[in-house]
Amino acid sequence: MPGHGNYDRHPVVALDGAHPLWTGEAVWTQLAGLARATSSPLAVDCYPGVDVGAVRDALSAADPALVVVDVEAEAALSAKDLDELLADELTDDRVFGVLSRRRIGAFFHPGELDRLRHQLARTDRPTVVVGWGASLVVPAEAPVVLADLPRWEIQQRFRAGAGNWRAGNGEEDVLRKYKRGFFVEWRVADEHKRPLLARCSHLLDTTTATPKLVTGDTLRAGLEQAAARPFRLVPFFDPGPWGGTWMEEVCGLDPAPGGQHYAWCFDGVPEENSLRLGLGAEHVEIPAIDLVLRHPRELLGERTFARFGAEFPIRFDFLDTMAGGNLSLQVHPTTDYIQRHFAMPYTQDESYYLLDAEPGAQVYLGLRPGVGLEDVRAALEEGQAGGEVDADRLVNTFPARPHDHFLIPAGTVHCSGAGSMVLEVSATPFIFTFKLWDWGRLGLDGRPRPIHLEHGLANIDVRRDTDWTRQNLVDQVEPVDAGDGWTEERTGLHELEFIETRRHTFTAPVEHDTHGTVHVLNLVQGEAAVVESPDGDFDPFEVHYAETFIVPAAVGRYRIRGTGAGPWRTLRASVRDTERT
């Protein structure tokens, strides 16, 4: 195992200059003072998942003379009305819904919002309005505090028994709660939050039990600085039924609860990961999506932004099956299918880059010659009825060795076998996996993991047989360039996919240029490396083995040199039509 034990699980974007920070009880004292110092009501607009009751109670305790108005309790639709409103988007499926295009006003009674606006416009008492949508009912000049938290923390709260926004569903299946967040709440909330990032007077970090408060200017300075330099997101690790042991050792993890092993790590997914802004010895933690929403052009580049909007289109994550089990046999939807059925604009094309592999490890990829859809259906239906599926009879297997790269355009049946450590490089719509067979096992909740056989069969491309797969998806390495002490290779992805990957192997510094699009990289070999600006535009940035890092489009030219034990390799991904050859 090639681990070096220096993986940083708590990366920080250190802000320049001095910035005020309030923590704990001082947060509520500061906000109460702000409410008293302004002639307009103060709004504390809470992202869905923030404990609004705790915010309300803390403000009341800090200053009993404050009038604290809960906009959700006063004006939100009932749980029953919300369910009826969202029935088409949420569907009956346990996992998949339809992407919502609603705006936040749809979740409130319009008459009640108007009543609150008139009531608050006439008040002469110090007043704070709390809840998601609080900024809807205060005057345009009123100060707004954005109470925020990352999606990963919301998911942890779902697992601990929290429900969706005003849904009263704390006891519901976690997958259904996640579905409601992914397809509806977070889409609407991010659209609502986007102008608040520019407007807010303060940012309230509610990620942990100890609240933290910074000014809006500090938040905006941090996002501006992050968009102009290389940075890392805060990774998170999650156990699964097929989990391995590689990440525990290499990333320095404590054992997973209940004797499980870690299966996933999201190490480069702004929609899910958080971003820590360092303020001296302290920090605040915010959703990394805030950077995408606030600085999409600087981060993504003009052409990538023009194509995808304020969405981060590339995802890096880990799949650990070392001393574990096979992933589920699966397929991803075509672009046409995902648009028609789920209203997603693009699909989950992906690839497996092998960071490590045990002897005999393999990847399942593409159908064997002569296997048709009816053969697949018959075998998988037998598996669903309690029988066994002979996956080796249906699907090709290819040996998996360190630094192999397997390309997986949508419609290709695939899965990583046991004994592999995969760096998955993919497009970002990351829940769109149609499981076909899960080897007869249960999820960590003791229930069978959802199988979507009809969706899967509708997307399997039977033309991707052994010969086609070998010629198009396996070992597609092409030399691109070389210099003194370095080589550059194209390792994929397939021409149907929009992501381009380049691997640099080096013993001397390597020059890179974003050429106007975002780069996502991982140090796939070597102890550590330093990312530098040839013009001194940012401080040298150190990364360690297996760490994913992002280089914004605005950076332009940069250099990577190895430190510690080498040789070194990086895998770099970018949007293909902005990659220069």
DSSP 400-433: --TT-EEEE-TT--EEE-SSEEEEEEEES-TT--
The matching CATH number, chosen from 2.60.120.10, 3.40.50.970, 3.40.50.1820, 3.40.640.10, for 236-282+290-472 is 2.60.120.10
Cα distances from 220 to residues 189, 296, 331, in angstroms, run: 19, 13, 40
pLDDT at 255: 87
Torsion of CA 470, 460, 436, 326, to 10 degrees: 20
Angstrom distance (rounded) from CA 553 to CA 514: 6
pLDDT in tens, the chain (581 residues): 454 569 999 999 999 999 999 999 999 999 999 999 999 999 999 999 999 999 999 999 999 999 999 999 999 999 999 999 999 999 999 999 999 999 999 999 999 999 999 999 999 999 999 999 999 999 999 999 999 999 999 999 999 999 999 999 999 999 999 999 999 999 999 999 999 999 999 999 999 999 999 999 999 999 999 999 999 999 999 999 999 999 999 999 998 888 899 999 999 999 999 999 999 999 999 999 999 999 999 999 999 999 999 999 999 999 999 999 999 999 999 999 999 999 999 999 999 999 999 999 999 999 999 999 999 999 999 999 899 999 999 999 999 999 999 999 999 999 999 999 999 999 987 789 999 999 999 888 888 899 999 999 999 999 999 999 999 999 999 999 999 999 999 998 788 889 999 999 999 999 999 999 999 999 999 999 999 999 999 999 999 999 999 999 999 999 999 999 989 999 999 998 744 44
Radius of gyration of the chain (CA): 25
User: Residue 405: which of 579, 578, 235, 569 has the closest Cα?
Assistant: 569
Which two tokens mark 561?
A: 């040199």
Q: Which residues contact 559 (CB under 8 A, 6 or more apart)?
A: 509, 510, 511, 512, 531, 532, 533, 534
pLDDT at 577: 72
Phi then psi for residue 343, to 5 deg, are 65, 25
Residues of the chain with CATH 2.60.120.10: 236-282+290-472, 478-578
* Cβ density class 527-536: b for 16+ within 10 Å, e for less: bbbebbbeee
Burial class of residue 191, CB neighbours in 10 A (0-12, 13-18, 19+): middle
Residues of the chain with CATH 3.40.50: 13-226
CATH hierarchy code of domain 13-226: 3.40.50
The answer to whether residues 354 and 403 touch, using CB atoms and an 8 Å cutoff, is yes
Domain made up of 478-578: CATH architecture: Sandwich (2.60)
Which two tokens mark 575?
A: 């949007």
pLDDT at 299: 98
The answer to whether residues 524 and 3 touch, using CB atoms and an 8 Å cutoff, is no
pTM for the whole structure: 0.96
